[in-house]
Amino acid sequence: MSDYAKGLEGVIAAETQMSFIDGEKGILEYVGIPIGELAQHSTFEETVYLLWNLRLPTRGELDAFTKELRGRYEIPGVLAERIRQLPSDAQPMHVLRTLVSELALHDPDPNKNDPASARDKALSVLAKAPTLVAYFDRYRRGLDFVHPDSSLSFAENFLTMLNGERPTETMARAFDICMILHTDHGLNNSTFTARVIISTLSDVYSALTGAIGSLRGPLHGGANEGVMHMLNEIPSVDAVEPYIMEKIRNKEKIMGFGHRVYKAKDPRAFALQGLAEQLAKDTGNEELYLKSVKIEEVMTRELGKKGIYPNVDFYSATTYHSIGLKLDLFTPMFALSRLGGWSGHIIEQLSDNRLFRPKAKYVGPHNVPYVPIDQR
């Protein structure tokens, strides 16, 4: 009980029925369904329903859930005005974190977290977050807002609001698959953050805001932007080998590789690699994909024996770039999707709550005399 595990490695701190991970075998399931099956056959909306209800919906249930979600795409008018007052060079993750927090100010009863209210608030944030990101991106580019369209799916609506035109079916489906793959992943740092915050019986907005702050870090969701920076820095496929070898020699971390839980290739990376290959080919970004494959080859040869393989962030960089997303929107895309997972965990935590309150092992001195300030 009193063992210290740095970074809580291996510590089981919650029970969940949402996702199962076998890090040795590279398996990920949502409510028992392999992630590859969901990526192939499901939609983001259905996946969120699955995670929040622990079963797949009937057609009627899915239609009702989707209708509810689409009916909430619009953000309060004052919030749209607020976006126009933000510094146009603000970073989108800071913008998203701030505005999700601000949604609480437009909720007449933000602290209610009985099961129905928690779901209701989570659904609103999930529906509005893409609007917040798309509006901010258009504002900073000097473009008019494109209002959400409740006849469109989560993926189609977001890409339409961002680009001012309907995405092709292939693009919308690729984006939808990315959303499915990123929705939930056990007790990762941001999900843990959300559960820790809600365990004080704080509110859904606070828990989601904290989770966004956690996800931004380069060791977590911020890694997908780090991967893109690396790909941009490497001038050609031939330059990959010396670039990576020098980083390894300098003991620098390669973004998009390694995982606390997976010691095999992340199952989401397989699906994303397929998407990255296809989209890169379709959009003239083949070299980006080929550089990525070469990086994986060198990393597997050099560090595979240490269990370091591509994680979810590695091929998502090429995928998002090929979809036409700007680099600093990559981590916000992760957040849009993970809002579904964080909310499911908030609902799960509230259903059987106990305050998170671990201990720290004190390693400082004892019985130190107090020295008055003028004698120090």
Contacts with ligand CMC by CB under 6 A lie at: 7, 188, 219-221, 223, 253-260, 303, 306, 308, 311-313
What is the rounded (10 degree) CA torsion for 84, 87, 93, 99?
Answer: -40
- Would you say 128 or 259 has its CB closer to ligand CMC? 259
State yes or no: is 182 an active-site residue: no
Q: How far is the CB of 153 from ligand CMC (least distance, A)?
A: 25
Q: How far is the CB of 255 from ligand CMC (least distance, A)?
A: 5
State yes or no: is 220 an active-site residue: yes
Which of the residues 107, 176, 203, 313 is marked catalytic?
Answer: 313
Q: How far is the CB of 21 from ligand CMC (least distance, A)?
A: 12
Please tell me the distance from the alpha carbon of residue 337 to that of residue 328, in angstroms, as a whole number. 16
- Among all residues, whose Cβ is closest to ligand CMC? 258
Token pair for 315: 């091929």
Q: How far is the CB of 336 from ligand CMC (least distance, A)?
A: 14
- Would you say 69 or 299 has its CB closer to ligand CMC? 299
Q: Give the Cβ contact number of residue 110 at 10 Å.
A: 16
Q: How far is the CB of 254 from ligand CMC (least distance, A)?
A: 4
**Tokens 């805001």 label which residue?**
209
Residue spans of alpha helices (H) in 10-86: 35-41, 44-53, 59-70, 77-84
Please tell me the distance from the alpha carbon of residue 269 to that of residue 314, in angstroms, as a whole number. 7
Q: Which of 349, 355, 361, 236 is nearest to 286 (CA)?
A: 236
- Would you say 211 or 288 has its CB closer to ligand CMC? 211
Cross-strand partners of 336: none
What single-letter amino acid sits at 306?
Answer: K
- Would you say 127 or 244 has its CB closer to ligand CMC? 244
Burial of 247 (0-12, 13-18, 19+ CB in 10 A): middle
State yes or no: is 259 an active-site residue: yes
- Would you say 305 or 361 has its CB closer to ligand CMC? 305
Which residues are known catalytic residues?
Answer: 220, 259, 313
